[in-house]
Amino acid sequence: MKLIVATNRSPYNVKKEKNHVTLQKTDGGLISALDPVMKENGGVWVCESDTLLKDYDVKLPYPIKQIKLTENETKHYYDGFCNTQIWPIFHYFPAKYKFHIKDWDFYKQVNQKFADEIAAIIETEDIIWVHDYQLMLLPKLLRNMGIKNKIGFFLHIPFPNFEIYRIFPKRTEILEALLSCDLIGFHTESYRKHFIECVKYFLGSQAGIKENLIQYKDITSKVIALPISIDYKHIEKTAKSSKVEVKLSKLKDNFNNQIIGLGVDRLDYSKGIVEKFEGLELFFEKKPEYIKKVSFVQIAVPTRVNVTEYRKLKRQTDEAVGRINGKFSRDGWTPIHYIYSSVKFEDLIAYYRLADFIIVSALRDGLNLVAKEYVSTRINNSGTLILSEFTGAAEEMPYKYLINPYDSCSIAFAIEATLKGNEDKKTSEMANLRNYVSQNDIFKWFNIFLNELKQ
Ligand code: GDG
Helical H runs in 12-100?
29-41, 71-73, 87-90
Contact present, 202 and 195 (Cβ < 8 Å) = no
Q: Which residue has a Cα nearest atom 14 of ligand 1?
A: 29
Q: How many domains does the chain have?
A: 2
Instruction: State if residue 304 touches ligand 1 by the CB under 6 angstroms criterion.
Output: no
Instruction: Give the active site residues.
Output: 156, 365
Same domain, 290 and 380: yes
CA dihedral 340→308→10→318, nearest 10 degrees, is 10
Same domain, 64 and 203: yes
Does an H or E element contain 48, and which? strand 44-48
DSSP 8-state secondary structure symbol assigned to residue 28: S
User: At 69, is the secondary structure helix, strand, or coil?
Assistant: coil
Same domain, 207 and 245: no
User: At 364, is the secondary structure helix, strand, or coil?
Assistant: coil
CATH (domain of 285): 3.40.50.2000
CA of 187, closest atom in ligand 1 = 28
If we measure between CA atoms, which residue out of 377, 376, 385, 371 comes closest to residue 426? 385
Alpha-carbon distance 72 to 75, whole Å?
5
Instruction: State if residue 370 touches ligand 1 by the CB under 6 angstroms criterion.
Output: yes
Radius of gyration of the chain (CA): 22
User: At 385, is the secondary structure helix, strand, or coil?
Assistant: strand
**Which of 12, 15, 32 is the pocket-test mutation for ligand 1 (most atoms within 8 Å of CB)?**
32
* Single-letter code of the amino acid located at 88: P
Distance between terminal CA atoms of the chain? Answer: 14
Which domain covers residue 137, as residue numbers?
3-228+443-454
Same domain, 308 and 355: yes
Instruction: State if residue 431 touches ligand 1 by the CB under 6 angstroms criterion.
Output: no
Helical H runs in 42-170?
71-73, 87-90, 101-121, 138-144, 162-165
CA 264 to ligand 1 center in whole angstroms: 8
Alpha-carbon distance 79 to 378, whole Å?
37
| Helices 242-254 & 232-240 angle (0-180, nearest 10) | 60
Same domain, 260 and 224: no
451 HSE (CA, 13 A, CB side):
7
* Single-letter code of the amino acid located at 40: E
CA 301 to ligand 1 center in whole angstroms: 10
Backbone angles phi, psi at 28, to 5 degrees: 125, 155
User: At 4, is the secondary structure helix, strand, or coil?
Assistant: strand
CB atoms inside a 10 Å sphere around CB 219: 15
Tens-of-pLDDT digits for all 455 residues of the chain? 899 999 999 999 998 887 788 899 987 767 877 888 888 888 999 999 988 998 898 999 999 999 999 999 999 999 999 999 999 999 999 999 989 999 999 999 999 999 999 999 999 999 999 999 999 999 999 999 999 999 999 999 999 999 999 999 999 999 999 999 999 999 999 999 999 999 999 999 999 999 999 999 999 999 999 999 999 999 999 999 999 999 999 999 999 989 999 999 999 999 999 999 999 999 999 999 999 999 999 999 999 998 899 999 999 999 999 999 999 999 999 999 999 999 999 999 999 999 999 999 999 999 999 999 999 999 999 999 999 999 999 999 987 799 999 999 999 999 999 999 999 999 999 999 999 999 999 999 999 999 999 98
CA 329 to mean position of chain CA atoms:
33
CA 133 to mean position of chain CA atoms:
12
pTM metric for this prediction: 0.96
If we measure between CA atoms, which residue out of 453, 399, 363, 396 comes closest to residue 191? 396
Contact present, 376 and 232 (Cβ < 8 Å) = yes
Strand partners, 210: 213
CA 369 to ligand 1 center in whole angstroms: 6
Same domain, 118 and 15: yes
Residue 147: the pLDDT is 98
Does an H or E element contain 183, and which? strand 183-186
Same domain, 268 and 158: no
Same domain, 95 and 244: no
Same domain, 344 and 245: yes
Instruction: State if residue 342 touches ligand 1 by the CB under 6 angstroms criterion.
Output: yes
User: At 263, is the secondary structure helix, strand, or coil?
Assistant: strand
CA of 373, closest atom in ligand 1 = 33
Instruction: State if residue 28 touches ligand 1 by the CB under 6 angstroms criterion.
Output: yes
| Helices 369-376 & 29-41 angle (0-180, nearest 10) | 60
Same domain, 240 and 372: yes
Same domain, 312 and 349: yes
Alpha-carbon distance 123 to 149, whole Å?
9
If we measure between CA atoms, which residue out of 203, 240, 227, 238 comes closest to residue 368? 227
CA of 154, closest atom in ligand 1 = 28
Same domain, 196 and 242: no
User: At 60, is the secondary structure helix, strand, or coil?
Assistant: coil
Residue 51: the pLDDT is 86
Which whole-number Å values give the CA distances from 382 to 131, 231, 379, 427, 429, in the listed order? 35, 20, 8, 5, 9
Which whole-number Å values give the CA distances from 9 to 65, 102, 109, 183, 248, in the listed order? 11, 22, 17, 22, 31
